Chains A and B, each alone.
Chain A
Amino acid sequence: MLRTPLYEAHRKADARLVPFAGWEMPVQYRGVLDECRAVRGGAGLFDVSHMGRVRVRGEGALPFLQYLTVNDVSKLSPGGGEAQYSLLCRDAGGIIDDIIVYRLREHEFIVVVNASNRDKDLHWMQHHAVRREHLVLEDETPQTALIAVQGPQAVDLVDALSDREVAALPRFGLDESVVAGVQTVVARTGYTGEDGVELFCRAHEARALWQALVDKGGVPCGLGARDTLRLEAALPLYGHEMDEHTPPYEARLGWVVKTKKPGDFLGKNALTQLKNAPRHRVLVGLEMEGRGIPREGYPVHAESPDGATVGRVTSGTFSPQRSKGIALARVEAAHAADGTRLDVLIRDARHAACVVPLPFYKNV
């Protein structure tokens, strides 16, 4: 089992540690509800060092990433300092992973990938890097750490420890900064629906940085809270809302695919066709009317005592923000309009739900 550079800090804080994508990670410290509240009202800290970090360097880096990913990397400021959400897709259009591409400098990028897909992604990247010149790929996951600071007070908290003005960064902007004496890359990104930043640093300095953030009032939060917060913000999670059999257009990710960007890219032909094809299945938000909690895999039926199955829950949870069960579900397009009443089958009983606008919650 892999451990992040913050493993000892989590143990000392009495976190509950669980296996996650091959890593031993904190699922909760004080409790999921407390931690969600800390992020919605203050500043929460997440160790997300398990996520893969691949540095891509050289004059060949931009054309390589432009070919590899579906978003338009050339839109990132040439001098660096910007990031974008993107996807790796197969030729047939299925999603290999969702990623964030951070441009540090003209010829230097960091690609952050899901922990569960790191090996697959690296293999895919290396395969497509063969015979390309002026291109260096380096998996720097083991040598580095990644800490997310999220919540309405997150930016102020980091600003108070930083030698550069973090508050001046736009959403998805990034900068190099010394935070609490530690050299970092600070990016205004996150996965909670809140304002905040993510801090990249070297592994051996992660503990000092984490402690400084805790001392300033940051509340350590686990993967349990992270999953609930991302679901309230309707942010998709690989393996749940998307996978290799799901085209971006069935995961509310069509906006990421820039079919008209300059040059060829992996998946371009299939994605161009899919973009113009009728949508059979759509990802929607469901809010329960009663008190049941929808969970991944639960069938979704048309309303009426004998309504047919029209879809399935991809992620579901109790939402602390709404005090209700909420879910993302993939349903037939005819049942996807806001306000449509559907039933979720929970332990063989029908529970009424309603298609609602997404996100369930957002404060960015």
Chain B
Amino acid sequence: MSDIRPGFRYTKSHEWVKVEGDTATIGITDHAQEELGDIVYIELPEVGRVLSADDVFGTVESVKAVSELYAPVSGEVVAVNEALSGSEAAINESPYETGWMITVKLKDPAEAGKLLDPDAYRSQIGE
């Protein structure tokens, strides 16, 4: 069974969001990293980029597959996990902690409430 964190929100495209005040940290779920397999390359946006929900904010690649990353919420990118570049295995090993990807300053702090809660995400992935 996949690790699904309580208190986080999720998307159908397998990103997670952790909201703290007016910022949100974003990554991909344990289920997503498992499906992708060994991750060997990531492209992330620059700090300062303004994202709307559902925008492509980056790309993650395993040995065999390319997968786009979709912004779960709208806001300005205020931090990017630069440590992932060259150490992408961290996304496989720790998708919710050292594998985080970006932090955004939320345009609308209520927006994340519309995303999937842990139970809804678990049924989404058929577990």
Binding site for B on A (CB under 8 A): 27-28, 31-34, 224, 227-228, 291-293, 295, 317-318, 320, 325, 347
Out of B38, B40, B66, which one reaches A295, CB within 8 Å?
B66
B41 touches A317 (CB 8 A): no
A31 touches B66 (CB 8 A): no
Any A CB within 8 A of the CB of B37: yes
**Using a Cβ cutoff of 8 Å, how many contacts connect chains A and B?**
38
Alpha-carbon distance A228/B63, docked complex (angstroms):
8
A318 touches B40 (CB 8 A): yes
Given A27-B64, A291-B86, A317-B63, 20 more A-B residue pairs with CB atoms under 8 Å apart are A28-B37, A31-B37, A32-B63, A32-B64, A33-B40, A33-B63, A34-B38, A224-B37, A224-B64, A227-B64, A228-B63, A291-B41, A291-B85, A292-B41, A293-B40, A293-B41, A318-B41, A318-B61, A320-B63, A325-B41
Residues in B neighbouring A228, C-beta threshold 8 A = 63-64
Q: What would be 9 A-B contacts, judged by CB atoms less than 8 Å apart?
A: A28-B37, A31-B37, A33-B63, A224-B64, A291-B86, A292-B41, A293-B61, A295-B66, A318-B41
Alpha-carbon distance A28/B38, docked complex (angstroms):
11
9 tightest A-B CB contacts, nearest first: A318-B40, A32-B63, A33-B38, A318-B63, A224-B64, A31-B38, A293-B41, A293-B61, A32-B38
What is the chain B residue whose CB lies nearest that of A228? B63
Residues in B neighbouring A293, C-beta threshold 8 A = 40-41, 61, 66
Quote the shortest CB–CB distance from B81 to chain A (angstroms).
Answer: 15
Alpha-carbon distance A319/B49, docked complex (angstroms):
32
Residues in B neighbouring A317, C-beta threshold 8 A = 63-64
Within 8 A of A (CB), among B26-79: 37-38, 40-41, 43, 59, 61-64, 66
Residues in A neighbouring B43, C-beta threshold 8 A = 347
Quote the shortest CB–CB distance from A13 to chain B (angstroms).
Answer: 16
Alpha-carbon distance A7/B9, docked complex (angstroms):
38
Alpha-carbon distance A224/B59, docked complex (angstroms):
20
Alpha-carbon distance A295/B67, docked complex (angstroms):
12
Alpha-carbon distance A28/B62, docked complex (angstroms):
13
Alpha-carbon distance A63/B41, docked complex (angstroms):
51
Alpha-carbon distance A128/B59, docked complex (angstroms):
49
Quote the shortest CB–CB distance from A289 to chain B (angstroms).
Answer: 14
Q: Which of B41, B59, B63, B85 has the most CB of A within 10 A?
A: B63
What is the chain B residue whose CB lies nearest that of A325? B41
Out of A32, A325, A347, which one reaches B62, CB within 8 Å?
A32
Alpha-carbon distance A347/B68, docked complex (angstroms):
11
Alpha-carbon distance A21/B126, docked complex (angstroms):
27
